[in-house]
Chain A
Amino acid sequence: MITLNVNGKNYNVDVTPDTPLLWTLRDNMGMTGTKYGCGISECGACTVHVNGQAKRSCVTPAGSVVGAQITTIEGLSADSSHPVQKAWIELDVPQCGYCQSGMIMATAALLARKPKPTDADIDKTITNICRCGTYQRIRAAIHLAAKNTKS
């Protein structure tokens, strides 16, 4: 049994410490907004925030984040009001949508650190995979979210 702080609440979870955070969130805690894509930290579909930093939960042992503040897509905002979510809605970014939780979490972490990212910043930081190929809209939405974020 370990205790995790997710989206501001403490949860006692019956997993061994080596269980990936991804599967702990999904199967043990029922938070399925965080997605399984590759299991080897290649695709970023499982991106969450750990103490505000983007982290790929598929290779993060649950035991390693005990005591940390974990935020998932479900906790990014109560009502899709985060500027990144609003930009995604405004530009109709998603197609199948499966990768978008991870894209949004990666973007939110980038903007928290760098409110006005350049294209080069985006290229370097947003390395998640989207098979539908929504990258052009993702880039536009990142810039839109940056513009709409009060600094």
Chain B
Amino acid sequence: MTNRLEMNRRQFVVTTAAVGGGMALGVRPAGAQTAADIEINPWVLIAADGTVSVRVGKTEIGNGAVSTLPMMVCEELGCDWNKIKVLAAEPNWDMKNNNVFAGKIGARNFNSNRSYQSLEQFQQAGASVRERLKAAAARNWNVGVADLTVNNGEVIHVASGRKAAFGQLAAQAAQIKLDKEPAVKAPDQWTFLGKARAPRTDVKGKVDGSAVFGLDVKAPNMLYAALRQSPVMGGKLRSFDFNAIKDRPGVHSVVVVDPSEARPKTDLKTLYAEPAPQSAVAVIADSFWHAKSALDVLPVQWDDGPGANTNSEDFFKTAIAAVNRGGGTVNRKEGDPLAVIAKGGKLVEATYQAPFLEHALMEPLNGTALVTANNVEMWISTQASQNVMLLAAIETGVPLNNVVVHAANAGGAFGRRIFGDDARMVVAVAKKVPGRPVKVIWSREETTRQGRFNPFSVAKLQAVLGADGLPEAMVIRIAGHTPSTGVLIDTPYASAIPNFMVESIPTNTHLLTGPWRGPGYNTNVFFLESFVDELAHAAGKDPMDYRRSLFAKWSDPAWLKVLNEAAAKGEWGKKNLPKGTAQGFAIGAWPNSKPNDASIIANLVQVTVSTDGSVKVDTVDIAFDTGKVLHPDGITAQFEGGTIMGINKTLNEELTVRNGRVVQGNFDDYPMVRIADTPTIKVHFGGLTGGAKLTEAGEPPIAPPAPAIANAVFRATGKRIRALPFRNHDLSWS
């Protein structure tokens, strides 16, 4: 911690040599740096007209990072929110300035969308500028700095009421060096963060069509590529027949991407494991339509490789056999749960299943790159722009210094745009057409079938209930593709269960997987919270009271506070609901369940199952604890949206595999909930503990809907759904 602060303080007095990046095509939201913007420190620039520019390295994927980070600056600086401009800090620019902005290669400033991680740094940036503006005014007015304050873009001499706009002081402030950096405000001193509703900085471009997403990038003399990768992941291109398409309109060439082709030797490493690109062909043409139409009729043969002849049914059979057999890696063991189970008693057991899932970003994967002998310039929707820079250098052998990456607005991300397999493929295609910018586009079908999927998993849970109905022993066995034990091994429930065990057994497949909003957590909460409801039912207890008993010994009171807030606001136990309508509850924590270290979130849902078996979520009451809140409306938006995604995951989403190939390709067979399916979602703030922690908002809402809906459906129909998605099950009744 101390080291980081020291480093920051050194950075705050450095003024960068070059102007910031992101200007080339203005791909980022609010604008480009102009000559009028005077750099006060690497984060903040002020123009004579009072515009305050904040450099942001995190990309905008929809979660509001490019709004929340400037809010942190504004909290300290006292600026006028209407005069905020967002500038893109780019990795290449930073590298050439000794990483003054991000600190290092691999820094979160460029490779994470989580704004809360940057709080201290951005507050410090704002505080530093404030003190330098005050010092400039103090010098001009011959008064003490202590007699000055800031408000709404002005420095004010309190006694006389004399004022100077930030813009008038900016040039002077840029020259001032402080003896020491000011302390930043403690949360209880905040007047803007956690309180105000600050309109998002990226909305205007998103309502007039001007926001540039990766797919919208235009470069002079640009070609388009339509991409097809081996339909069985890990397969290899055998042959194709260019003659069949070469005379089609606009066709330029066909490019082959060969994973085994020799690549330049390098010491550079990507930030995330991602091997060579998959085997692929791409048709290059003068428009995407020409490229795609030609690819659709291009004869291509593949060697399917080891994944051929596999299918989803076998994946599940193997994983179910594994959880029945046991004997995997024991991830946690307390007491001797196997002996308790062997002894007999009131045993409850259940096996749950969850399929592979695709991210289904609204903006299909794509990217544009211009590769020459010694340079790469690229434009891409990404969650990790520094990693893209590394991948481009590794794929081409171009020195890292000569790789310029412009991060565009991302049309959804949810983890899909972290690993950078898309970026690497773009460069692998574009380097075969050197000297021309190539925009590589995955069709919707290609995007869906060539995902980095949320892995499938199977969990078998067993418990023996004691005389009080609470578990004496619990065993959780999880299998599937790279099964995660996240939020299972550290569940607070274990504090009330004397004999407890979690075991994992990988039953991997040839499919490629990656982070998908709330990895592990997004499905493990379904297993655990469904099972706890089943235990409450077996014990004849109210599921809310049953959880209260299990949390009683847990050291973090936030769980009970969140549970009680949801129960109160959602009116748990509401009477006289019509037949087919019932409430359900679930609670979880992301990214772990460590006390005072995680976001805790609960859903109380009301669900109606029609006689035809269709499931409609009527209402969702959300309670949560993130410790503190940076932007209440931002949290609300994340929770509203994440809940919808969680509902869709529950009801609709499933990828299946036939002969090694992903079957689903588009929204007709990978359906999405629409506005007509949307419940009334209410986000309640009464669960906040206000404690020291400040935790995440984007991933938490994904998990609770599935178990909450499953628990409600059980209460409505008596049917316990243990395999996602719900649309595979007949829930009709009469």
- Known A-B contacts A42-B668, A104-B207; A132 and B289 likewise in contact (beta carbons under 8 Å): no
Interface residues of A in 23-46 (CB under 8 A from B): 23, 26-28, 30-40, 42-43, 45
Number of chain A residues whose Cβ lies closer than 8 Å to a Cβ of chain B:
59
Closest chain B CB from A20 CB (angstroms):
7
Which of B209, B668, B674 contacts A73, CB < 8 Å? Answer: B209
Verify if B411 is at the interface (C-beta below 8 Å from A).
yes
Which of A27, A96, A127 contacts B410, CB < 8 Å? Answer: A96
Q: Please indicate the chain B residues that have their CB under 8 angstroms from the CB of A131 in the complex.
A: 360-362, 412, 414, 645, 672
- Known A-B contacts A43-B362, A126-B675, A132-B412; A89 and B209 likewise in contact (beta carbons under 8 Å): no
Closest chain A CB from B674 CB (angstroms):
5
Interface-side segment among B125-133, B212-220, B534-542: B212-220
Which of A16, A34, A39, A92 contacts B444, CB < 8 Å? Answer: A39
Please, what's the 1-or-0 string for A121-134, where 1 marks a CB less than 8 Å from any CB in chain B?
Answer: 01110111111111
- Known A-B contacts A97-B62, A135-B675, A137-B637; A34 and B209 likewise in contact (beta carbons under 8 Å): yes
Which of B362, B444, B675 contacts A139, CB < 8 Å? Answer: B675
Number of chain B residues whose Cβ lies closer than 8 Å to a Cβ of chain A:
61
Evaluate contact between A35 and B411: CB separation under 8 angstroms: yes
Q: Please indicate the chain B residues that have their CB under 8 angstroms from the CB of A96 in the complex.
A: 60-62, 362-363, 409-413
Evaluate contact between B362 and A98: CB separation under 8 angstroms: yes
Q: Please indicate the chain A residues that have their CB under 8 angstroms from the CB of B212 in the complex.
A: 32
Which of A23, A98, A133 contacts B645, CB < 8 Å? Answer: A133
Q: Please indicate the chain B residues that have their CB under 8 angstroms from the CB of A38 in the complex.
A: 444, 666-667
Evaluate contact between A92 and B362: CB separation under 8 angstroms: no
Q: Please indicate the chain A residues that have their CB under 8 angstroms from the CB of B640 in the complex.
A: 133-134, 136-137
Verify if A138 is at the interface (C-beta below 8 Å from B).
yes
- Once the chains are docked, how many angstroms separate the CA of A112 from the CA of B642? 31
Q: Please indicate the chain B residues that have their CB under 8 angstroms from the CB of A33 in the complex.
A: 208-210
Verify if B659 is at the interface (C-beta below 8 Å from A).
no
Closest chain B CB from A136 CB (angstroms):
5
- Known A-B contacts A97-B411, A123-B676, A138-B675; A133 and B643 likewise in contact (beta carbons under 8 Å): yes
- Once the chains are docked, how many angstroms separate the CA of A99 from the CA of B208? 12
Evaluate contact between A23 and B207: CB separation under 8 angstroms: no
- Once the chains are docked, how many angstroms separate the CA of A137 from the CA of B638? 12
Verify if B139 is at the interface (C-beta below 8 Å from A).
no
Contact residues of B: prevailing secondary structure: loop
A40 and chain B: residue at smallest CB distance = B666
Interface residues of B in 190-233 (CB under 8 A from A): 199-200, 202-213, 215-216, 218, 224
Closest chain A CB from B448 CB (angstroms):
10
Evaluate contact between A27 and B444: CB separation under 8 angstroms: no
Q: Please indicate the chain A residues that have their CB under 8 angstroms from the CB of B60 in the complex.
A: 96
- Known A-B contacts A33-B209, A96-B413, A138-B675; A133 and B680 likewise in contact (beta carbons under 8 Å): no
Which of B199, B207, B362 contacts A85, CB < 8 Å? Answer: B207
Evaluate contact between A23 and B288: CB separation under 8 angstroms: yes
Verify if B355 is at the interface (C-beta below 8 Å from A).
no
Evaluate contact between B207 and A127: CB separation under 8 angstroms: no
- Once the chains are docked, how many angstroms separate the CA of A151 from the CA of B207? 23
- Once the chains are docked, how many angstroms separate the CA of A132 from the CA of B202? 15
- Once the chains are docked, how many angstroms separate the CA of A110 from the CA of B441? 32
A30 and chain B: residue at smallest CB distance = B218
Most A Cβ at <10 Å: residue of B203, B215, B361, B680:
B203
Evaluate contact between B209 and A88: CB separation under 8 angstroms: no
A45 and chain B: residue at smallest CB distance = B362
B620 and chain A: residue at smallest CB distance = A136
- Once the chains are docked, how many angstroms separate the CA of A135 from the CA of B60? 20
Most A Cβ at <10 Å: residue of B208, B411, B668:
B208
Closest chain B CB from A65 CB (angstroms):
16
B668 and chain A: residue at smallest CB distance = A42
Verify if B63 is at the interface (C-beta below 8 Å from A).
yes
Verify if B443 is at the interface (C-beta below 8 Å from A).
yes
Interface residues of B in 661-705 (CB under 8 A from A): 666-668, 672-676, 678, 680-681
Verify if B364 is at the interface (C-beta below 8 Å from A).
yes
Evaluate contact between A136 and B207: CB separation under 8 angstroms: no
- Once the chains are docked, how many angstroms separate the CA of A35 from the CA of B633? 27
- Once the chains are docked, how many angstroms separate the CA of A104 from the CA of B360? 21
Verify if A19 is at the interface (C-beta below 8 Å from B).
yes
Q: Please indicate the chain A residues that have their CB under 8 angstroms from the CB of B289 in the complex.
A: 15, 19-20, 23, 27
Evaluate contact between B288 and A136: CB separation under 8 angstroms: no
Evaluate contact between A95 and B411: CB separation under 8 angstroms: no
Most B Cβ at <10 Å: residue of A122, A131, A134, A139:
A131
Evaluate contact between A98 and B213: CB separation under 8 angstroms: yes
Interface residues of B in 231-254 (CB under 8 A from A): 249
Q: Please indicate the chain B residues that have their CB under 8 angstroms from the CB of A30 in the complex.
A: 218
Which of B63, B199, B674 contacts A127, CB < 8 Å? Answer: B674
B206 and chain A: residue at smallest CB distance = A97
Evaluate contact between A88 and B681: CB separation under 8 angstroms: no
- Known A-B contacts A80-B207, A92-B200, A124-B676; A129 and B213 likewise in contact (beta carbons under 8 Å): no
Evaluate contact between B207 and A95: CB separation under 8 angstroms: no
Verify if B64 is at the interface (C-beta below 8 Å from A).
yes
Closest chain A CB from B699 CB (angstroms):
14
- Once the chains are docked, how many angstroms separate the CA of A92 from the CA of B673? 21
Q: Please indicate the chain B residues that have their CB under 8 angstroms from the CB of A136 in the complex.
A: 640, 678, 680-681
Evaluate contact between A89 and B204: CB separation under 8 angstroms: yes
Closest chain A CB from B651 CB (angstroms):
13
Verify if B259 is at the interface (C-beta below 8 Å from A).
no
Q: Please indicate the chain B residues that have their CB under 8 angstroms from the CB of A27 in the complex.
A: 224, 287-289
- Once the chains are docked, how many angstroms separate the CA of A14 from the CA of B615? 49
Q: Please indicate the chain A residues that have their CB under 8 angstroms from the CB of B514 in the complex.
A: none
Evaluate contact between B216 and A32: CB separation under 8 angstroms: yes
Verify if B469 is at the interface (C-beta below 8 Å from A).
no
- Known A-B contacts A40-B668, A131-B360; A28 and B675 likewise in contact (beta carbons under 8 Å): no
Q: Please indicate the chain B residues that have their CB under 8 angstroms from the CB of A133 in the complex.
A: 640-645, 648
Evaluate contact between A95 and B203: CB separation under 8 angstroms: no
Evaluate contact between B203 and A88: CB separation under 8 angstroms: yes
Closest chain A CB from B648 CB (angstroms):
8
A43 and chain B: residue at smallest CB distance = B667
Evaluate contact between A129 and B206: CB separation under 8 angstroms: no
Verify if A17 is at the interface (C-beta below 8 Å from B).
no
Evaluate contact between B672 and A97: CB separation under 8 angstroms: no
Evaluate contact between A37 and B680: CB separation under 8 angstroms: no
- Once the chains are docked, how many angstroms separate the CA of A45 from the CA of B362? 8
Verify if A115 is at the interface (C-beta below 8 Å from B).
no
Closest chain A CB from B641 CB (angstroms):
4
Evaluate contact between A130 and B362: CB separation under 8 angstroms: yes
Evaluate contact between A97 and B666: CB separation under 8 angstroms: no
Q: Please indicate the chain B residues that have their CB under 8 angstroms from the CB of A35 in the complex.
A: 213, 215, 362-363, 411
Interface residues of A in 1-26 (CB under 8 A from B): 15-16, 19-20, 23, 26
- Once the chains are docked, how many angstroms separate the CA of A110 from the CA of B332? 57
- Once the chains are docked, how many angstroms separate the CA of A85 from the CA of B411? 19
Interface residues of B in 245-277 (CB under 8 A from A): 249
Closest 6 A/B residue pairs (Cβ): A33-B209, A133-B644, A98-B411, A96-B62, A97-B206, A95-B62
- Chosen A-B contacts, 21 in total, with CB atoms closer than 8 Å, are A35-B411, A37-B363, A40-B666, A40-B668, A42-B668, A43-B672, A73-B209, A77-B208, A95-B62, A95-B63, A96-B362, A96-B411, A97-B411, A98-B412, A129-B672, A130-B362, A133-B644, A133-B645, A134-B637, A135-B673, A139-B678
Q: Given known contacts A26-B216, A32-B209, what 17 new A-B pairs fall within 8 Å (CB)?
A: A15-B289, A16-B249, A20-B289, A26-B288, A27-B288, A39-B444, A42-B666, A74-B209, A95-B62, A96-B362, A97-B206, A101-B209, A129-B672, A131-B362, A132-B641, A133-B648, A139-B675
| Chain B residues close to A by CB (< 8 Å) | 60-64, 199-200, 202-213, 215-216, 218, 224, 249, 287-289, 360-364, 409-414, 441, 443-444, 633, 637, 640-645, 648, 666-668, 672-676, 678, 680-681
